[in-house]
Amino acid sequence: MLFFAFYLLYPILPLYLIDTFSASKTLIGFILSSYTLAALLVRPFSGFLLDLFRRKPQYLIAFFLYVIFFIGYPIVTSINLFLLIRMIHGAIYGFVTTAGNSLVVDILSSSRRGEGLGYFGVSNNLAMVVGPMTSLMLHENGSSYNTIFYLAFVFGLLGFVFASLIKVKKPFNPTPDRVFAFDRFFLFKGFKASFSFFLSGIPYGMFMTYLAIYGKELSIEVGLGLFFTLLACGLVFSRSFSGKMVDKGKLTQVIKIGLFISLIGLFLLAFLQRINMYNHTTVIVLFLLIPVILGLGYGLIFPAFNTLFVNLAPNNRRATASSTFMISWDLGLGSGFILGGWLADSVGGLSLAFLVGALLLLFSFVYFTKSVELHFQRNKLR
């Protein structure tokens, strides 16, 4: 429910900013990235606090504040106020998602952690798909932006009710030594993995944010909500077996396969505009095939990287590991917002932006294979 409420706004915010404030793509990228930047700045401190004090009370407080801020979107009257609301909301999002991910690790047995994180990731990433699909369908059928904003508030509130029912069975053991050491805020053993994961997040931020605009540029008449439906199918299918592969010791292999599959999808997405010059029917077919490919790829990447960070950290630094995992992703998404908007406005359009994203994903694949995998095998704790 938390992620559904968040991603319900994901694809319509660019359209809202254009229709309401006549914002450029560059400004849209800046405003959307401010949310991620705020989350990024809060995550190291959230991991520190979550490892120091009981997690569930902090999780519930942050969740409630997160839900309340959805009411701010429909009442702001200027783009500056919108930016302020977005930044505060992003900071709270950074805390509550780190807390949620840490609680999941707490209640999972180590022998089935990969599988459990896989199922947890299904719910998160399914929301990443169903949310945009729902809001685009509502928007295409004439629902107002305010209706979608208030709907996000309602689902967020429902999520808070479910969050209050979570039972944490394992005892909480705060870290007694070196409480204020700098490495309590970031898992330095995960730095190489962070860089690879960061690079894979850039193209994800691009296509999730600018897909609706790209579809209009390609004159795609098939409902854009269908794209996200097919993305969900790919995500759910890959999550159904990726976690079990991780628990069988194939963690790094899962990540490499996921990166390679995603790379294929990004390259196809980048060349749609050129193909559209010769055969529009082929473009429509590819537009429906690409989300399945991307779903399969990223459905493998998410839980495997999550498990990788946890396996590099001692038990009393799980929240720090979760924070580092999410910081990497936030940096990737934020960079994708800004880079995608800048390339689309100033250089060569969205097709070039997606091509750059594909090249970054290629570099991530090579770097992971040549450096990250070896580093993980030498430093893993479990």
Domain boundaries along the sequence of the chain: 2-170+184-379
Which residue did the predictor score with more confidence, 114 or 184? 114
pLDDT of residue 222: 64
Residue with tokens 């330095």: 188
Most distant CA pair in the chain: distance in Å?
65
pLDDT (mean) for 95-106: 85
Q: pTM score, two decimals?
A: 0.75
pLDDT (mean) for 50-79: 89
Question: Rounded to the nearest 5°, which phi and psi values hold at 230?
Answer: -70, -35
199-256: pLDDT as tens digits: 999 999 888 777 777 877 777 766 666 777 788 788 888 877 777 787 788 889 999 9
148-163: pLDDT as tens digits: 999 999 999 999 999 9
CA distances in angstroms from 98 to 27, 248, 259, 334, listed in the order given: 28, 26, 24, 17
Residue type for position 181? A
Q: Percent of the chain having pLDDT more than 90?
A: 27
Residue with tokens 């159904």: 240
Look at residues 196, 208, 336, 188 and name the one whose alpha carbon lies nearest to residue 255.
196
Say yes or no to pLDDT of 177 above 70.
Answer: no
Instruction: Spell out where the chain has E strands.
Output: none
Q: Decide: 90 and 41 in contact? Cβ < 8 Å.
A: no
Q: Decide: 63 and 126 in contact? Cβ < 8 Å.
A: no
Say yes or no to pLDDT of 112 above 80.
Answer: no
**Which architecture characterizes domain 2-170+184-379 according to CATH?**
Up-down Bundle (1.20)
Which residue did the predictor score with more confidence, 210 or 196? 196
Q: Which helix (H) or strand (E) holds 228?
A: helix 224-247
- Alpha carbon distance 62, 261 (integer Å): 36
- Alpha carbon distance 130, 365 (integer Å): 28
The tokens describing 305, both together, are 């990287």
Residue with tokens 């580092």: 324
- Alpha carbon distance 6, 93 (integer Å): 9
Kindly give, in sequence order, each residue whose CB lies less than 8 Å from that of residue 63, ignoring residues fewer than 6 positions away.
Answer: 2, 96, 159, 160, 163
